[in-house]
Every structure is written in C-alpha cells, then in structure tokens.
Amino acid sequence: MTDPDAESFVETVREENRTALSRLGSSKSLYAATGGEIDAGPVLRATADAEHAARETFEAWADDETHDGAREAFAATATEERGHYETVAERVDDHDPAAADLPALHGYLRDLDDTVERLGALVGRTLASERSKDQVIGYFVGDADPETAGLFREFEADLDDQRERATDLLDAVCEDEGDWERAREAATGAIEAAYGEYVETLEGMGANPKPVC
C-alpha cells in the first residue's frame, strides 16, 4: 500500500474483500444467521447474540489494552455494543446469551493482543457488520416495522463512528508501512472469519453461499 493513510486503508480493505463483503450483504446472510428461520423473533435473537458477543470482546480489549487512546476507543465501542444488546434483548423473550455459540468473527478478534492489529481488525469488523445490519434493516422495512428498522439504522451509524475512531488511531500509531500492512491483514482476517462461518453455515444447511446468476 503506497503512502498509506486512514482513508486509503479503508478503501483498500473494502476492495480486497469485495466478494466476501458482497456475499455477507446478501439476503443469504439472514438465512445463515437464523438457521433458515427468517422471522422477526429469530432475526432479533441472532442480532442479540451478535451484539452481546461484541460487547464482551470490546470490554475485554479495553481491560487489557496498554495504549491510552485505543483503550478509550475500545471502551466507547463496548458501551455502544452494550446499549445495542440491551435494546435488542428487550424485544426477545428470555434471551440467554450463554446459549449462543461464539461467532467466528469474535473468536478471531479475541485472539488479538497487539494494538495495531486490534485497530485494523475493528475496521474489518465494522465493514462486515454493516453488511449484516443492512439486511436486518431491509427485513424490518419489508416487515412494515419502521421503528425497529430505525433502531438498526442507529446501530449502523455507530459502526461508522467506531470505524472513524479506529482509523484516526491507526493514523497515530502506525509508524511505517509495515504497521499499516499488519493492520490490513488483521482487517482482512476479521472479514474472512465472518465470511468463512457464513459459507460453512450455508453449506451445512445444503445451501449455496454463492449468488445464483
């Protein structure tokens, strides 16, 4: 990546992962997330599971992060994800986050302990998550539930803020092109973890993860 900066970093990650991000933003993502039960209850339950996992990931990062700015950014993200979870969980009967499997994306994130890699992976996570949020928004628009669709639009706006915090910090902590490369690899790793689980889930359900032309 030549003369890397925050803006070119995000665009490079998007371009290099265009196929995976496109498929994560397809209608099949809801099918995979809900185990084929595309109805309001399963959609909300799957979303609550994901928001809870995100809350725990970023709380853990904030607890052991040594860089002051990154620690503050991770804590802010954890607070946002806590709010998301609590908002969605209110709409789910007796939600038990302990009953959910850890998403592969968050398994990947939790293995990272380097500041540069965490910030890069956070960017990747926002890019993957906004694709799934688009599908949830679309579902509730189609279900004639504009209030719930509006809530998820607010969640999606928080993803923009999270990405901006991460890229601002990358500008500050990346000392050379090697650091930007490590961040890029971590961002791609986050997207690949989400996409790999998407493919595995759909194939396990007998569905083709690729779009039908």
CATH number at residue 111: 1.20.910
Domain extent, residue 180, equals 16-204
> Which pLDDT belongs to residue 5?
77
Confidence tier at 94 by pLDDT (50, 70, 90): confident
Say what the pLDDT of residue 1 is: 44
The verdict on residue 9 lying in a domain is no
Within-domain flag for 23:
yes
- Indicate the range of 19-28, 91-100, 158-167 predicted with least confidence: 91-100
**Mean pLDDT for all residues in the chain:** 93
Would the pTM count as exceeding 0.85?
yes
Long-range Cβ pairs for the range 186-189 (8 Å, 24+): 186/112, 186/116, 186/117, 186/118, 186/119, 186/120, 186/121, 186/124, 187/9, 187/13, 187/120, 187/121, 187/123, 187/124, 187/127, 188/13, 188/16, 188/17, 188/124, 189/108, 189/121, 189/124
> Is 3 within a domain?
no
Domains contained in the chain, number = 1
Whether 124 maps to a domain, the answer reads: yes
